[in-house]
Structure 1
Amino acid sequence: MKINSADFRVREGDDVDLRKWPTKLEPFYKSKQQYRKLLSEHVAQLSEQQQLLYASNRHAILLIFQAMDAAGKDGAIKHVMSGVNPQGCQVFSFKHPSAAELEHDFLWRTTRDLPERGRIGIFNRSYYEEVLIARVHPEILRSEGLPDAFANNNTVWRDRYRSISNLERHLSSNGTRIVKFFLHLSKEEQRKRFLERIDKPEKNWKFSTADIEERKYWEDYMQAYEKCLSATSTTEAPWYVVPADDKKNARLIVSQIFSDLLDGLKMSYPKTSDERHHELLSIRKQLLEE
């Protein structure tokens, strides 16, 4: 069964209701062996496409991953990007902002880490935290030192959506292609994964008591995600809602969407000038005559 990237894309202007988006699909693989084979093929293709991206040096790629805890962001990044040359790719994880970061606007800390042309940047969480967790927990917004007129304004979220969309539109018009993944996990599957992290000693380090506290706000988070996806999925920077209850399926979907994005850039290797071509032939002749 072929993966169609468009099936997971949030169209610009869509009013997102996450209850209508599945958290699990029929697997795109029939066995673990077939999954490994499919993922390996995707990874090999991405490796070739990354080399072309680097050589052409015309575009930058920004991949953004957002999700509830235990949805598999780290695993998706690790497995899908396993064949990518680390010299051309960087992953940034954004936790709670530092005191220095809070002295700047909410986009400042992530803007510093945007990828250069020819490179891939991956944000594991991102500036979208400022319209997600900050919306669920208003005390975070109040702690950011904003003037009262802005921090207490009912339009703060609309203004932040607009700031984000303006940034993404600016990046797009300057050669950065942006794709945003929301790994859509069910509350029941999160419960199972939390239990696994508790029951298996080697996974205890993955579990934080803060995770179980945030789980209490599940419905608030779903509403925040719905508003965010509806307001910020654009032609230039689309959101993809990836069913995440099956980690293997999610990785295959993410890798296909990423590969389709790179294919759509219509990249090519730089053409060699006549002068350079003659120079290479001369060097080749010298080497053959040694």
Structure 2
Amino acid sequence: MKAIDTDDFRVKDNFDIHKAPTLIDMEASEKKVHSELKKTSRKLGKLQDKMYANNRYSVLVCLQGMDTSGKDSLIREVFRRFNARGVNVYSFKTPSSAELEHDYLWRHYIALPEKGKFAVFNRSHYENVLITRVHPEFILNENLPGISTVEEIPENLWEQRYEQMNNFEKHIAQNGTIVFKFFLHLSKEEQRQRLLRRLNKEEHNWKFAPSDLDERGFWDDYQKYYEEAINSTSKKHAPWYIIPADNKETARYLVAKTIFDHLKNYEDIKEPAVNEAVLENINLYKSKLQNEK
């Protein structure tokens, strides 16, 4: 199978969404890629157990992508070998009335992972500079001071939000949260095929909504705003990774490998030392348990 350096997918310079590949050749069968995914997922699960015992770091994984880019199935496959206590998944839909009574980052703050745990954001705070750019009328639901109509939205609002998001991620990173941000980069043709499969397979009909086609009509706008948001917020403490997503198995493997390759470099993620009294008397404790009647 093709050797992969996951750092190649990290946004370091100016990201051009039209030049980034949506498909790569892994030089291996899908079965082989799936096998490597299973191995990497298993290693990630063991590493998370160690992180839980270490209780020093947490991990935030943000997943963004166009509709049908494979976020749900990626979460299922990458994290299925985790201890259930070690990972929480949050799907951020349209803000509730209670959430709209707070600033737009509030619901993301309260979903941040505890030390030793992973949190996966299926869509994330970045929706606030993506869908609201395409549909600026959604901003009005936030009831912001001085903004009562779309025409009153200041042009610098988006730059302010990029800065706020950078500050938010820098703050949590400085306090022990390791941040990964993945853009599942899907081609428009592959999205068309996936939407057709939802319509052609009766058991998948429930996944389709007419709004999927409505949003597809804004494809170019979304691409533009993804590119802008990624370029404005890919930082060393919270980098973006552009994951080719036309092949779901490959995308899952690349995300799992990226997370593992980065976390394995943390030399201070290790189990705490065993109490000396326990070590000195370990044979006694074994004997007591073995001789119980």
TM-score (norm 1): 0.95
Q: Contact conserved, 2:184 with 2:244, CA < 8 A, in 1?
A: yes
Residue 100 of structure 1 aligns to which amino acid in structure 2?
Answer: A
- Cα RMSD for the two superposed structures: 1.5
Q: Contact conserved, 2:34 with 2:253, CA < 8 A, in 1?
A: no
Q: Aligned ranges for residues 77-226 of structure 1 at < 5 Å?
A: 77-148=75-146, 152-226=153-227
CA distance in 2, matches of 1:281, 1:235: 48
- Aligned residue number for residue 241 of structure 1: 242
- Aligned residue number for residue 231 of structure 1: 232
Equivalent position SS for 2:182: strand
Q: Per the alignment, do residues 196 and 282 of structure 1 end up closer, same or farther by CA in structure 2, a change over 3 Å counting? A: same
CA distance in 1, matches of 2:285, 2:278: 11
Residue 216 of structure 1 aligns to which amino acid in structure 2?
Answer: G
Q: CA deviation at 1:273?
A: 3.4
CA distance in 2, matches of 1:277, 1:149: 65
How many residues in Structure 1 have an aligned counterpart in Structure 2? 287
Q: CA deviation at 1:234?
A: 0.6
The unaligned stretches of length 5 or more in structure 1 are none
Q: CA deviation at 1:42?
A: 1.1
Q: CA deviation at 1:281?
A: 4.5
Aligned-pair identity (%)? 42
- Aligned residue number for residue 24 of structure 1: 23
Q: Contact conserved, 2:69 with 2:184, CA < 8 A, in 1?
A: yes
CA distance in 1, matches of 2:140, 2:79: 37
**Residue deviations 1:189-247 (CA, integer Å, cap 9, x gap):** 10110111011111111111111101111111011101100011111111000000011
Q: CA deviation at 1:41?
A: 1.0
Establish whether residue 75 from structure 1 lines up as the match of residue 73 from structure 2.
Answer: yes
Q: CA deviation at 1:75?
A: 1.0
Residue 181 of structure 1 aligns to which amino acid in structure 2?
Answer: F
Which segment drifts farther, 38-47 or 181-190? Answer: 38-47
CA distance in 2, matches of 1:112, 1:93: 13
Q: Contact conserved, 2:134 with 2:221, CA < 8 A, in 1?
A: yes
Q: CA deviation at 1:285?
A: 4.2
The unaligned stretches of length 5 or more in structure 2 are none
Residue 162 of structure 2 aligns to which amino acid in structure 1?
Answer: Y
Establish whether residue 57 from structure 1 lines up as the match of residue 58 from structure 2.
Answer: no
Which segment drifts farther, 36-45 or 187-196? Answer: 36-45
- Aligned residue number for residue 250 of structure 1: 251
Equivalent position SS for 2:94: coil
TM-score (norm 2): 0.94
- Aligned residue number for residue 265 of structure 1: 266
Equivalent position SS for 1:171: helix
Equivalent position SS for 2:205: helix
Q: Contact conserved, 2:140 with 2:147, CA < 8 A, in 1?
A: no
